[in-house]
Chains A and B, each alone.
Chain A
Amino acid sequence: MSSLAQIQQHVLQAVLADTVTAPGALKGDDRATAGTRLAIYHHAYRARLREALAIEYPGLALMAGKSFATLAAGYIEAHPSGHYNIRWHGAGLAAFLDYGLPWRERPALGDMARLDWAISTVFDAVDEPALLAQDLASLAPEDWATLQLHPQDKLQILVTPYNVAAFRKAADLGQARPRLRRHRQPVSLLIWRDGMEVRYRALDTDELAVLEAAIAGANFTELCDRLGQFHGQEQAPARMVQLLQGWLAGGLLRTHT
């Protein structure tokens, strides 16, 4: 190993260490000891990562409250950052909360982190031209049966029994911490982007079924058949039209290229 590589290794290890101990590669002077000087970097590393986590995880910060600082410190110690963009250091936080003690005893935290992270990644995901109502207006009646709808690739669906969306909303609006609730049935949250706006909302059971079918490549007839299992074949087309209008208005569908 080169001398430069050794120096960088020693300084890196000193910054990552629990306590501040200056390696022999560093020296102090009358103004400040090597330890005092190193301590600035030691502190800054943790402060920067903690700040980045708070920015990426506002819902989690609100839900965890005072515990967030401990949670963030634990994650930072367990996971040195490996990506050039500080934001991506937080990519593993949900898994850390799912499996690490004591956080795994509060499973709402992991789900909260997943919603925050989904919002973060959808925010600057690739742009996909939205399918517009007028794109379908010119469709011949006989073509509707085999029409395939293409939900945007970047949408995410998160299933959780907790009211995590309420926490995120409160955090974004600067409102007070909501009360944590556990629903009797898990809720499916859809996270997508409407133009430049990230949106999220709960999906009804039938909408979840047809959205997943559309993602899998089902055509319009098959989507109506899927809805028929919920509403009967007679009511299915009307419900399908209702859903389609909502998807178009929300920019959820992309043009097929």
Chain B
Amino acid sequence: MARLEPLGVLEAWVMDVVWRKGSVTARDVTEAQRGRRRAYTTIMTTMDRLHRKGLLSRTKDGLAWLYAAKLGRDDFERNLADQLASEIVASHGEVGLAAFVDATAKDAELLERLAELVEARRDEK
């Protein structure tokens, strides 16, 4: 899976339409607008960008492209959350986030030893 980027306002709205309707053309998305209307070309460009980001797949339907989401809404949000949370963990200490615990692979044995120590103290009391 390619690296997921957080969505911009228009991208999020377009993805919302695609998730609700399934397979859509840029014309379908343009016509689904209410209130402030974006130009057809703007929607087309946005959908092309989402395709290049790997979020939409597309097949030719006559002269138009038919777009569909590669991931469902839940899968997208879960994968994005995983990725963003990993970035937060990786950047911890860089600009002053305070994590409850940091750990490394070599800590596995240490954790067991400390757990035994905690148990021993519990038994003492």
Q: Do A and B come from one complex?
A: no
Where the two chains meet, the residues of A that have a C-beta atom closer than 8 Å to any C-beta of B are none
Where the two chains meet, the residues of B that have a C-beta atom closer than 8 Å to any C-beta of A are none
